[in-house]
Each structure stands twice: as C-alpha cells, then as structure tokens.
Amino acid sequence: MRATRTAISAVAIAIASLGVVAPSVAQTEHAAQQAEADQNAAIMVFFDEIDADQLARSPLSKSYRGIKDSDYGKWDDGSEAAEARAMDADRSALREMRARFDPAKLSPENRLSYRLFEKRVARSEAAYKYNDYGYIFDQMNGAQSQIPAFLINIHRIDSKSDARAYINRLYGIGPVLTDAIGQAKARAAKGIMPPKWVYPYVISDARNVIAGAPFGDGPDAPLYADFKGKVGKLPISQAEKDLLVTDAAQALNASVKPAYEALIAEMTAQEKVAGTDDGIWRFKDGAGYYTQLLGNYTTTDMSGDQIHALGLAQVARIHKEMQAVQKRMGVKGDLKAYFNHMRTDPKFYATDGDEGRALYLTETQKAYDAIKPLLPKWFGVLPQAPLVVKRVEEFREKSAGKAFYQSPAPDGSRPGTYYANLYRMADMPLTEVDALFYHEGVPGHHLQRAIQTELKNVPPFRQFGGVTAYSEGWGLYSEKLAKDMGLYTDPARDFGRLQLELHRAIRLVVDSGLHHKRWTREQAIKYVEDNSADAPGGIVKAIERYIIYPGQATAYMVGRLKISELRDKAQKALGKRFDVRGFHDTVLKSGPVPLDVLEEQVDTWIASQKQG
C-alpha cells in the first residue's frame, strides 16, 4: 500500500506542476474500487449472457432446469453443424472474456470463475478435435433409449399446453433420429463403429420402444403409457384427455415408429460388418483420442501406463483390507475362495421377482434412514432438494448401468433421483446396497449435486456443469466416508463397500488395458473374475460399459484419492483445529472443479484456518 501511495503522490505532484488540481488519494482509491466493482458486476452479467445463449440452443437443457417456454416442445439440434457453432461460440466467449476482464481486478470467487471457464473451454477444444470419434448409438448413451428416458423422466405435463408440447416432441423424434442415423452411417464409413456385440443391445432397446399399443397388440408401449398416465392427472375434461391421447397415438405411429424402424434397419446392417476389436486403439490416432479422454475425465496429465500402474497398486491395497474383513467373517481359504463364497452364497442376494425387488428397495431405504441423522455432524451445508429412489424403467433396464443419479431441478419441480437397476437381482448383491446408496444418494451424488444446483452468486456454468473426477471422486469418497461415520457395522456390508471400491480400482486396470494395452473383452472379463467378487452378469455389463465409454471410469478412483489426500493433508496441517465440516464445505461450496483447482481451494482454506 505504501508503494501505491508513493506512486499516486508522484502523479499528483506532476499534475499540480501543470496547474491542474489532482484528485485526492481517497478519490483515486475510490475510483479504483469502483472500477473493480464494475468489473465484478459485469463479469456476472457476461456469464449469464453466455448461459442464455447456450440455453437458446438447447431446449433440452431448459427442460432439465424446469424452464417451460416456446421451446418446450422442441429437441436440440444434434447436427455436426450445430456442434461447430457451439464450439465457435465458446471460442468467441473466451476471447471476449480475456479482452474485457482483468483477473487481478476480480473478487476471489469471480477470479475462480474466470479460471474455470478458461479450463472448461480448453477441455472442449481438446475434445472437439475428436468430435466424430464417439458412438452415436450404444447401450449406455444411445439416442434410442435417451429420447424416451427424457420424455418419461424430464418432460412434465402440468397443463394442456405441456401435453401439446409432448406431442410436438413425439413428432420431432423422426427428424432427430434420422439425423442421428445419418451421423452413425457417416462415422461407420470412416471406421468409427462400436464392436459387434453392442448392436443387439441397441436393437433390443429400439424394439422395446415401439412394442405394444398403439403400434400393435399388447400392453401400452413406454411412451404411450407415460403420456396417458400424465394426461390422466390433468384437471381437464375426459373428452379433452381422450383427444390428447388420440393425437399422441397418431404422432407415435406417424413419426416414432418409422424412425425406430429405420434405426433398427441401420443397426442390423451395421452389425453384419462390425468388427470384434474393442479398444479405441483401433481408430486412426486412437492413442491421441485416449490421451485426450483421460485428460478430460481425470483433469490430470496421467498416461495410460500411469493409470494402469495406479490401478494395480490400488487393487493390491484393497485385497489386503478385504482379507481383514474375511477374518472378521470367519470365512476360510484364500482370497479367491472368499470371493467365491461372497459371490455364490444365496443369503447375499435378493430373489428375482417383485418380492426380491421390494426387499432391495427396502434395504436401500434403511441405508438412507441410518445416515440421515448423522449428516449435520459432518456437513455445515446440506441440500434442500428431496431425494427419491426409483427402479430403472423396464424398457431400458437390460442395457442400463446398475445404478445412477439424476440431479434435481433448480426450481424444486423435480427431486434428485437415485435409480437402481433391478433387471437381474443376481447382479445386485445385498452386500453392496449401503455403499451403492451412499455413492449415488447421500452423502454422495445427491448431496454434492443438489448443493451445487442450490449455489448462489456463481455463474450458471458452475451451478449446472460437471467435472467427472470431482463428482465421481466425491461419490467414491462418500462410500468410505460412511464408514468414518460409524456405518457398515455388518462385516458383510463392509465387504460390499470394499468390493465397490475394488470395482473402481479394477476399472483403472481394465480401461487402460482395453484402450491402451489392446486387451480383448475376454481378457478384461477374466481379470475382473480373478480379482473380485463381482457377479458374472455384472462383470460383463461393466466391461461392456468401459469399452463404449473409454476413459470415463478412470475418473472415480483418481478423484477419490485426491479428495482423501487433501483431507489427510488438512488434518496433518491443522491438528486439533481441523474441522471436518469445514473441509467438506470447502470441497462442496465451489461446485465441481478440476483436481488441481480443488487442491488450491483446500490449501487456501488450510491457510485461513491457521490464521484464525
């Protein structure tokens, strides 16, 4: 400050020598403060304008946020031209931000937003180089199941106009799928196709969407049943309801059916010529593509070899921890014998059928009830949005993952939702119920993502965006956190926790094995069989996920290890002054950030606690 005052005084003397009255030091400092205030206000407006521009291009994003306007009956433009325009808009916004705003004049929160926006665009730029490398249709992310899932889970019908918007979207499915089929054809011509085994899943999902009424005999098809159920609850006359249902049936037959039939035909044709190699190493510059994916998902510069080595080390660590639990359970034999016992003993599984599925959901509720009263002791900030547990819809349960989470709407119109896939109860051991819920529900994804959605005074891209290593790292960290909170008193459930942690460590090995070391699908399956107690059906489904979603599965353990490392670092630095609630709030209240930024945030918090 003294140097600043000296400089200001020199300027004042120089001005006075010219016969001009100089502003006072106070006036100069006030002007500087006002300039900084103007910069901070302006950058918030800037980020809001970027968000508004992105929302204008994405009717689906509006629906996810609970926004209903003239776009409510529309789909996003998924064409390559639209993706190019979006990338150009990001580049332009980045140039404008750098030209207009000086990070030194921004508040710490806005300076963080500035950095995060730079990093976000950098990740988008790196990914755009490989924009045509992704699969358009696969068993995890394909439009064939995402479209109906969106209408069923996101498109609310609270009025007659909402019902009309739903019908408009039914008519829009034809053009959307036609464009997607065209992209899939173009990529196939360049050798970008999923392995042959993927196609039956896609074809099955597509057939499920158009099976039943109004397409033919049998129970109502998923979209028809959803529409009728939602319209049935509207406070309108029966005649109006009947007309809406008739119009929806017409849209389903006129647009949805032919589009899905065309998709089935194209997938059937592609299946005949698809290859059997699984890893993306087979693509032109597949190595560069995998490096980009690892960087995007982990927010680190770890190589495929480093990811593989980390996985092997973590598998060895968890195996040792499992052996301790084995002793507590009194199970004889080596680790493989223990795995076989946990994998095959019927008492660790619910039965197939309604009774078994009801039992699984009941056990999930017990896990929720056990942890809920403990949360205030571990978190200063808790979410306001409610959490509900749902079974994955039957039309997509055969291909969907074992469990996943959907964020709440910011306006409170939709709760956070934990989906459990109960297609085959043999793939959902009861030993994992607790840890799976703590990952997807609380204190995992629901707590983190609901808090994120409820953040105030941060730009929308931070309120609604994501960083996989952060979010999935937090989910995996939460599984262990529940043990710190005194849960998993049943050693079998503690084994389930370790089994899920092992599952994520193994992902590092098999993901890099498949896409970097050129493992086959069968090699990857064998590795999991030999090193875990995963159910056979679950193993196959998991490996198939890693094949079509390269790199993503590596983020979980990388992020979890960083969060745990930072907590250990804070505890060591602060000793008795360490407050676990303050640590967790520090991690959560900035929203998702790359791991290097998270470390900076925690370091700043540690320094502030030392000063306090």
Query: Tokens 């730029």 label which residue?
Result: 125
**Contact 556/510 with Cβ under 8 angstroms?**
no
**Does 134 reside within a domain?**
no
437 & 486 share domain: yes
Rounded mean pLDDT of the chain? 93
User: Which of the listed residues 276, 298, 317 is the one where a domain comes to its end?
Assistant: 276
Number of domains in the chain: 4
121 Cβ neighbours under 8 A, 6+ residues apart: 90, 91, 93, 94
DSSP state of 418: E
**Does 554 reside within a domain?**
no
Dump pLDDT digits (tens) for 257-268: 999 999 999 999
pLDDT value of residue 31: 63
pLDDT value of residue 172: 98
CA angle, residues 460, 462, 464, in degrees to nearest 5: 65
DSSP state of 213: B
pLDDT value of residue 30: 64
Taking residues 374-396, report their average pLDDT: 93
Nearest to 471 by CA among 566, 583, 580, 555: 555
169 & 257 share domain: yes
**Does 153 reside within a domain?**
yes
Dump pLDDT digits (tens) for 207-228: 999 999 999 999 999 999 999 9
Beta strands in 483-579 (DSSP E): none
**Does 520 reside within a domain?**
no
User: Which of the listed residues 276, 296, 322 is the one where a domain comes to its end?
Assistant: 276
Taking residues 345-349, report their average pLDDT: 96
**Does 292 reside within a domain?**
no
**Contact 463/455 with Cβ under 8 angstroms?**
yes
In the predicted structure, residue 8 carries a pLDDT above the cut 50: no
**Does 50 reside within a domain?**
yes
Dump pLDDT digits (tens) for 103-155: 999 999 999 999 999 999 999 999 999 999 999 999 988 899 999 999 999 99
Distance of alpha carbon 137 from alpha carbon 79, whole angstroms: 15
User: Which of the listed residues 99, 128, 157 is the one where a domain comes to its end?
Assistant: 128
Dump pLDDT digits (tens) for 586-599: 999 999 999 999 99
Pure H helices in 516-554: 521-531, 536-548
Residues forming a β-bridge with 388: 417
Per-residue exposure over 513-541, b if at least 16 CB sit within 10 Å of its own CB, e if not: bbbbeebebeebbebbeebbbbbeebbbb
CA dihedral 480, 481, 482, 488 (to 10 degrees): 40
- This prediction has a pTM of 0.90
573 & 485 share domain: no
238 & 367 share domain: no
Nearest to 50 by CA among 101, 80, 108, 94: 94
Residues constituting the chain:
612
Sign of CA dihedral 227, 362, 145, 260: negative
Domain that holds residue 421: 306-504+528-547
Phi, psi (rounded to 5 degrees) for 389: -110, 130
In the predicted structure, residue 5 carries a pLDDT above the cut 50: no
**Does 317 reside within a domain?**
yes
40 & 86 share domain: yes
pLDDT value of residue 12: 43
Total Cβ atoms within 10 A of residue 42: 14
Distance of alpha carbon 214 from alpha carbon 224, whole angstroms: 7
**Does 297 reside within a domain?**
no
**Contact 66/409 with Cβ under 8 angstroms?**
yes
499 & 607 share domain: no
Taking residues 275-302, report their average pLDDT: 97
176 & 219 share domain: yes
- Element of type H or E holding 40: helix 25-56
186 & 235 share domain: yes
Distance of alpha carbon 343 from alpha carbon 349, whole angstroms: 9
Instruction: Please tell me whether the peptide bond between 214 and the residue prior to it is cis, using omega within 30 degrees of 0.
Output: yes
358 & 260 share domain: no
Q: Strands 403-406 and 416-420, how do they pair?
A: antiparallel
pLDDT value of residue 149: 94
Dump pLDDT digits (tens) for 20-65: 455 666 666 666 677 778 899 999 999 999 999 999 999 999 999 9
CA dihedral 387, 388, 394, 395 (to 10 degrees): -40
The pLDDT confidence band at residue 536, using thresholds 50, 70 and 90, is confident
562 Cβ neighbours under 8 A, 6+ residues apart: 469, 473, 595, 598, 599
422 & 318 share domain: yes
Query: Tokens 């690892």 label which residue?
Result: 294
pLDDT value of residue 411: 87
In the predicted structure, residue 535 carries a pLDDT above the cut 90: no
103 & 199 share domain: no
344 & 491 share domain: yes
